[in-house]
Amino acid sequence: MAAGPYLDGMEARAPLVDPFARPISYLRVSVTDRCDFRCTYCMAEHMQFLPKKDLLTLEELDRLCSTFVGLGVRKLRITGGEPLVRRNIMEFFRAMSRHLGQGLDELTLTTNGSQLARFADELADCGVRRVNVSLDTLDAARFAEVTRWGRLPQVLEGIAAAKRAGLRVKINTVALKGFNEDELFPLLDWCAGEGHDLTFIEVMPMGDMGEEQRLDQYWALSDLRRRLEQRFTLTPLAERSGGPARYVRIEETGQKIGFITPLTHNFCESCNRVRLTCTGELFMCLGQEDRADLRAALRASPDDAPLRAAIHEAIARKPKGHDFDYSRRHVTGQMPRYMSHTGG
């Protein structure tokens, strides 16, 4: 990538391609680091959140995301923290909806579900067609334990509201050893009955949780999949959702099940995504600390050319992959920042 204050002409507007020839078409945007839950694998119970003055305004988030769409991003996922606790967040969704069919194929979000009952209809009106809801257990006491502050009935009502609004719901379940192992089949049955897809996620070594706690939480999805295969016939599917999940179909029920396996099967070779924080930092890899300060370029000039150049220069530094590893009963590649900082 050419050096200099900014790129010129067509080069500045060219689609984003990283050094390993991977087109970058998927942007995950954290609109807040705040959350109304304190999930044990995501953040500390007594978090020190960013001062509100440090966050990008909704207008700045609009300009950044619109610039990425202009550079070839086709999928935009809104995350947090919990994105729906950001004040006036529906203004941002309405603003982003103007890009649908004009370069942007999909506008979606990942949520804990606590605010879905309030916002499901508005989200549908903004062109959101599916949402990912984080749900690790169907047991109310366990749910309160893992989320610390959450209430399961509130989340289940939010999921029901999303379904009534016509939103497709995918349940994201973090596989936690000794916590929800015995709910593997009840979760499958519940999702089948409700018509929800289900994706399992390996817990990642992020945040200052302590090595022993991380190792105690880690349940390899290779083991989870073996348990499924003891009862069901699993057929691998070629389809991809634009993210890291790999899917199978359960022949006996017709369900689609996803696996996100950053530890047992590194998915970096097909990585097409980058992550933007609520302060304007661009992380080119979830499992590396390198980042680019896009806020500085954003605020330096009303002209988008320096911003486009900063984005191109950041993508030119995107690494081949992360270094997460639990394989030797020792956590390597651990990131000190909490998952809520980069939005998962």
What per-residue confidence (pLDDT) applies to 327? 47
The annotation places the binding site for [4Fe-4S] cluster at: 35, 39, 42, 268, 271, 285
Please determine, for residue 343, whether its predicted confidence score (pLDDT) is greater than 70.
no
All structural domains of the chain with their residue ranges = 9-342
Please determine, for residue 337, whether its predicted confidence score (pLDDT) is greater than 60.
no
The annotation places the binding site for GTP at: 28, 77, 110, 170, 273-275
pLDDT digits (tens, 9 = 90+) for 211-263: 445 567 788 999 999 999 999 999 999 877 656 789 999 999 999 999 998 65
pLDDT digits (tens, 9 = 90+) for 151-209: 999 999 999 999 999 999 999 999 999 999 999 999 999 999 999 999 999 886 544 54
What is the distance between the alpha carbons of residues 133 and 119, in angstroms, rounded to a whole number?
Answer: 14
What per-residue confidence (pLDDT) applies to 92? 98
Burial of 254 (0-12, 13-18, 19+ CB in 10 A): exposed
Q: CA angle at residue 335 from 332 to 341, to 5 degrees? A: 160
CATH number belonging to the domain at 9-342, selected among 3.20.20.70, 3.40.605.10, 3.40.50.280, 3.40.366.30: 3.20.20.70
3-state secondary structure of 268: helix
Task: Give 335's pLDDT tier (boundaries 50, 70, 90).
Answer: very low
What per-residue confidence (pLDDT) applies to 124? 98
pLDDT digits (tens, 9 = 90+) for 272-295: 999 999 999 999 987 677 899 999
Task: Report the chain's mean pLDDT, rounded to a whole number.
Answer: 87
Beta bridge partners of 173: 200
Would you mind telling me the total number of residues written for the chain in this entry? 344
275: alpha, beta or left? (left if phi > 0; alpha if psi -120 to 50): beta
The annotation places the binding site for S-adenosyl-L-methionine at: 41, 81, 134, 204
pLDDT digits (tens, 9 = 90+) for 75-124: 999 999 999 999 999 999 999 999 999 999 999 999 999 999 999 999 99
The annotation places the binding site at: 28, 35, 39, 41-42, 77, 81, 110, 134, 170, 204, 268, 271, 273-275, 285
What per-residue confidence (pLDDT) applies to 47? 83
